[in-house]
Amino acid sequence: MFREFLTRGLKSVRNEFNLVCTAVNLKKIWIYSNKNEINRKINGINGTFHFKT
């Protein structure tokens, strides 16, 4: 969990905050993609997209 900034100055803090936000969003994307991959394997779906007809 992010609790404090390690840098000083407004510009440095903004850069650090953007980096932390990027890391959090990448983690969310990673978790979401892994859940989808597991669901595809369980349901026997191959490929990235599956359209129901």
Q: What is the pLDDT of residues 8-39, one digit of tens each?
A: 999 999 999 999 999 999 999 998 888 877 77
Confidence of residue 42 (pLDDT cuts 50, 70, 90): confident
**16: how many CB neighbours lie within 10 A of its CB?**
14
SS3 assignment, position 7? coil
Taking residues 2-10, report their average pLDDT: 91
Q: Which residues have a Cβ under 8 Å from the Cβ of 14 and sit 6 or more positions away? A: none
The answer to whether residues 36 and 47 touch, using CB atoms and an 8 Å cutoff, is: no
Q: Which residues have a Cβ under 8 Å from the Cβ of 44 and sit 6 or more positions away? A: none
Confidence of residue 45 (pLDDT cuts 50, 70, 90): low
Prediction pTM value: 0.64
SS3 assignment, position 33? helix
